[in-house]
């Protein structure tokens, strides 16, 4: 009996699972040899002293947490860079999400020139290269203040007090609103170009989500007499809310790639050849990213609506 | 008499009133929609300006002559436009050779990326196999984890490339693959290229959304698994394919982190070359004024983004539709 079974070969299910593994095999192998191995090595480096032998081999001796101690207590700029990078990220993420959802709602309406507007809003994704970004920033300075360097300086200093004394009006508002909120909003206005340029993909994703909402839901809402405001909160927002987490992950990862703390880690490893300390920097900043993702993910999951 | 007149006036007033009411409502409604579209117009034009103005600044400045750059009268429109910036940037960037190499590099990587990620995404979407959930968790880890965490280990891996001691068995010592494009290809072929996790995720979501019936039909007709994938599933996945193609091309083209890490040659990666353009102009051509150097960099940038803009203009409409239908939304 067993012999005939063997002759018959694997069952359909087994064959399916084998071909599934075959389809995924490149990724599995790649993940094992590039990612798992590298993560392991990063941790190993972070916990040990590395000395280069003359043969080009590395010698690792266990160092415990001493490099973590160095990073936080001895290194002159790590703590500050880390907190400022993480702080920037924590501030930018909700702003980018809010802005991209808002813009997606705008672009989802029917008006003339919609295609052109969409094309423009996606343009920043094409220009998302470090060298181009620096040049764009310089160019923005020059376009604001003519092209002579003198006027750029003048305009830059004027940027804080443009004609109207904004501080005065903000001071009036300060009576009514808490200062931190005002600071956040004025800060957001200052960051508008960063926010706009880094929300191209997110706008597209939200747009796609908006397009996929079934029109019959809106019909029902209309028949039941819902106002546009109610329709937004009861229909539109719940339907796009699953994409909040997707977009959040994308935003965090994307803004982390260009952050100062990564630049510091890179410099420490490749310029100063301090492999252990650099590994510590990357591990700590990675944990920081996970922390931010975790907190925002938790908050987002509270307002996310799942259909099933 | 007085009473009747009063009544008549009241009656007429009421009659008038419904008309008035209708009129009023209409006016309110049209004003509302007018205000709404005006608001939308202002907002969209304003933000488009934020996006486009620096780009415009770069394009315009790249035509400025030295006098224009310093003349306080010149704004946006150069008085004595010159193509000199482009001429010098063209030679210093070695534009046509490098661009050809770069496009070839980016295109081949994107094709590999597309094939591998589609395969893996399909595998995760349609098959049941042991540890599938954990393995898909690895895809998510790959999306979330900043690639910089594993920079140095990857660097050493390719510096002393010796998988299973095979290379050293043949050549006597480990191969140094750095400063060649090989590491990037090796990573991409194994589904761990630049942002490959995201592409796998997109394909996975898309294939999960396709009806099972089309696959079953092809099985019934006697097609094998791989044949079904190539002939039935791939033609149905055009929206995802367009999305992934554009994303992978753009990101690969703009990527500097992997290019720097693996020290890929300047002759292949344009963005690396662009990074050193300013110092080349300063040191080789002895143009010491940073404001003038900047103009050459602008010209270089215009030339660098030109191919991507052209591709985007052609793919734009299909791309945005493609994203809407591809798996990102799930």
Q: What is the DSSP string of A199-246?
A: -HHHHHHHHHHHHTS-HHHHHHHHHTT--HHHHIIIIIHHHHTHHHHH
- Residue ranges making up the domain that contains B15: 2-60
Provide the 10 A C-beta neighbour count for residue B129: 19
Whether residues B312 and B207 fall in one domain: yes
For residues A252-257, average pLDDT:
84
Distance of CA B3 to the CA centre of its chain: 78
pLDDT at A154: 44
Whether residues B280 and B171 fall in one domain: yes
CA distance B33 to chain A (A): 12
The answer to whether residue B74 is domain-embedded is no
Q: Cα–Cα distance between A269 and A35 in angstroms, integer? A: 18
Q: A186 near A170, Cβ under 8 Å? A: yes
Whether residues B153 and B38 fall in one domain: no
The answer to whether residue B330 is domain-embedded is no
Q: What is the dihedral of CA A144, A146, A151, A156, to 10 degrees?
A: 10
Whether residues B134 and B47 fall in one domain: no
Whether residues B109 and B52 fall in one domain: no
pLDDT at A157: 45
Whether residues B158 and B249 fall in one domain: yes
Band of pLDDT at residue A89, cut at 50, 70 and 90: confident
**Number of independent structural domains in chain A:** 1
CA distance B264 to chain A (A): 15
Task: Please name the residues between 147 and 166 in chain B that touch chain A, using a CB distance below 8 Å.
Answer: 147-157, 160, 163
Q: Which residues of B touch A258 (CB under 8 A)?
A: none
The answer to whether residue B79 is domain-embedded is no
Length of chain B: 330
pLDDT at A6 over 80: no
The answer to whether residue B82 is domain-embedded is no
Whether residues B120 and B202 fall in one domain: yes
Band of pLDDT at residue A295, cut at 50, 70 and 90: very high
Which of B240 and A137 is assigned the larger pLDDT? Answer: B240
The answer to whether residue A216 is domain-embedded is no
Whole-angstrom Cα Rg for chain A? 26
pLDDT at B54: 81
CA distance A33 to chain B (A): 9
Whether residues B148 and B295 fall in one domain: yes
Query: Would an 8 Å CB–CB cutoff place B271 in contact with chain A?
Result: yes
Whether residues B33 and B131 fall in one domain: no
The answer to whether residue A114 is domain-embedded is no
pLDDT at A152: 44
- Contact state of B54 with A107 under an 8 Å Cβ cutoff: no
> Which residues, at least 6 apart from A230, have a Cβ–Cβ distance to it below 8 Å?
A221
Whether residues B150 and B196 fall in one domain: yes
CA distance B210 to chain A (A): 15
Mean pLDDT taken over chain A:
80
Whether residues B198 and B302 fall in one domain: yes
pLDDT at A63: 79
Q: Which residues of A touch B76 (CB under 8 A)?
A: 143
What share of chain A in percent tops pLDDT 90?
11
The answer to whether residue A304 is domain-embedded is no
Query: Mind listing the pLDDT tens digit for each residue in A181-237?
Result: 777 777 777 777 778 888 888 888 888 888 888 889 999 999 999 998 999 998 899
Task: Please name the residues between 169 and 228 in chain B that touch chain A, using a CB distance below 8 Å.
Answer: 187, 189-192, 196, 198, 200, 225-226
Whether residues B170 and B106 fall in one domain: yes
- Residue ranges making up the domain that contains A153: 129-159
Q: B75 near A138, Cβ under 8 Å? A: no
Q: Cα–Cα distance between A117 and A111 in angstroms, integer? A: 10
Q: A104 near A206, Cβ under 8 Å? A: yes
The answer to whether residue B232 is domain-embedded is yes
Q: What is the CATH number of the domain that holds B295?
A: 1.10.3720.10
For residues A58-80, average pLDDT:
84
Stretches in chain B below the pLDDT threshold 70: 1-3, 6-16, 172, 324-330
The answer to whether residue A98 is domain-embedded is no
**Number of independent structural domains in chain B:** 2
pLDDT at A303: 83
The answer to whether residue B115 is domain-embedded is yes
Q: Cα–Cα distance between B230 and B223 in angstroms, integer? A: 10
Where residue B97 falls (left for φ over 0; alpha for ψ -120 to 50; beta otherwise) is alpha
Identify the bridge partners of residue A106 per DSSP, sorted by sequence position: none
The answer to whether residue A150 is domain-embedded is yes
Q: Which residues of A touch B53 (CB under 8 A)?
A: 140, 143
pLDDT at A4 over 60: no
Picking from B60, B77, B105, the residue at the C-terminal end of a domain is B60
pLDDT at A66: 85
Task: Please name the residues between 49 and 88 in chain B that touch chain A, using a CB distance below 8 Å.
Answer: 50-58, 61, 64, 68-72, 74-76
Picking from B41, B60, B79, the residue at the C-terminal end of a domain is B60
Q: Cα–Cα distance between A145 and A168 in angstroms, integer? A: 25
């Amino acid at each position: 009996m067993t012999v005939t079974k063997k002759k018959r070969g694997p069952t359909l299910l087994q064959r399916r699972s084998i071909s599934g593994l075959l389809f995924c095999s490149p990724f599995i192998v790649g993940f094992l040899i590039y990612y798992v191995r590298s993560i392991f090595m990063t941790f190993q480096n972070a916990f040990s002293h590395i000395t280069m032998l003359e043969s080009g081999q590395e010698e690792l001796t266990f160092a415990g947490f001493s490099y973590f101690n160095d990073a936080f207590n001895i290194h002159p700029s790590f703590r500050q860079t880390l907190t400022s990078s993480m702080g920037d990220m924590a501030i930018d993420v909700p702003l980018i999400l809010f802005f991209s959802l808002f813009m997606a709602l705008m672009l989802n309406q029917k008006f003339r020139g919609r295609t052109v507007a969409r094309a423009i809003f996606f343009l920043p994704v094409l220009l998302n290269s470090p060298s181009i970004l620096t040049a764009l920033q310089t160019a923005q300075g020059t376009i604001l203040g003519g092209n002579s360097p003198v006027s750029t300086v003048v305009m830059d200093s004027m940027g804080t007090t443009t004609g109207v004394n904004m501080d005065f009006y903000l001071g009036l508002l300060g009576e009514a609103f808490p200062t931190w909120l005002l600071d956040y909003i004025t800060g957001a206005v200052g960051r508008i170009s960063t926010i706009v340029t880094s929300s191209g993909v997110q706008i597209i994703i939200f747009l796609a989500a908006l397009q996929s909402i079934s029109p019959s839901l809106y019909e029902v809402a209309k028949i039941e007499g819902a106002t546009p405001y109610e329709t937004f909160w009861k229909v539109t927002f719940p339907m796009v809310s699953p994409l909040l987490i997707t977009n959040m992950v994308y935003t965090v990862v994307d803004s982390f790639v260009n952050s100062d703390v990564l630049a510091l880690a890179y410099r420490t490893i490749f310029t100063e050849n301090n492999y252990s300390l650099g590994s510590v920097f990357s591990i700590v900043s990675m944990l920081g990213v996970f922390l931010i993702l975790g907190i925002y993910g938790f908050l987002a999951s509270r307002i996310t609506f799942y259909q099933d | 008499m007085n009473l009747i007149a009063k009544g008549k006036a009241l009656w007429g007033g009421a009659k008038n009133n419904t008309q008035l009411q209708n009129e009023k409502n209409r006016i309110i409604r049209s004003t509302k929609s007018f205000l709404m579209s005006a608001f939308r117009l202002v907002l969209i034009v304003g933000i488009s300006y934020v996006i486009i103005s620096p780009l415009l600044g770069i394009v315009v400045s790249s035509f400025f002559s030295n006098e224009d750059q310093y003349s306080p009268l010149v704004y946006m429109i150069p008085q004595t436009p010159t193509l000199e910036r482009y001429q010098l940037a063209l030679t210093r960037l070695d534009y046509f050779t490098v661009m050809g190499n770069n496009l070839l590099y980016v295109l081949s990587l994107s094709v590999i990326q597309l094939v591998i990620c589609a395969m893996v995404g399909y595998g995760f979407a349609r098959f049941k196999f042991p540890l599938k959930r954990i393995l898909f968790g690895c895809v998510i880890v790959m999306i979330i984890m900043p690639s910089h965490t594993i920079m140095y280990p990857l660097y050493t891996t390719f510096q002393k490339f010796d998988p299973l001691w095979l290379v050293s068995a043949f050549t006597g010592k480990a191969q140094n693959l750095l400063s060649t494009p090989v590491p990037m290809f090796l990573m991409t072929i194994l589904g761990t290229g630049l942002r490959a996790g995201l592409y796998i995720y997109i394909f996975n979501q898309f294939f999960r959304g396709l009806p099972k019936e089309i696959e079953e039909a092809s099985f019934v007709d006697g097609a094998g698994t791989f044949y079904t994938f190539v002939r039935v599933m791939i033609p149905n996945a055009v929206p995802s394919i367009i999305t992934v193609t554009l994303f992978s091309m753009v990101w690969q083209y703009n990527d500097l982190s992997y290019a720097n890490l693996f020290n890929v040659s300047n002759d292949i990666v344009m963005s690396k070359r662009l990074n050193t353009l300013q110092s080349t102009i300063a040191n080789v051509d002895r143009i010491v004024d940073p404001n003038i150097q900047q103009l050459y960099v602008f010209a270089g940038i215009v030339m660098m983004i030109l191919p991507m803009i052209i591709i985007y203009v052609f793919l734009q409409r299909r791309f945005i539709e493609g994203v809407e239908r591809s798996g990102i939304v799930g």
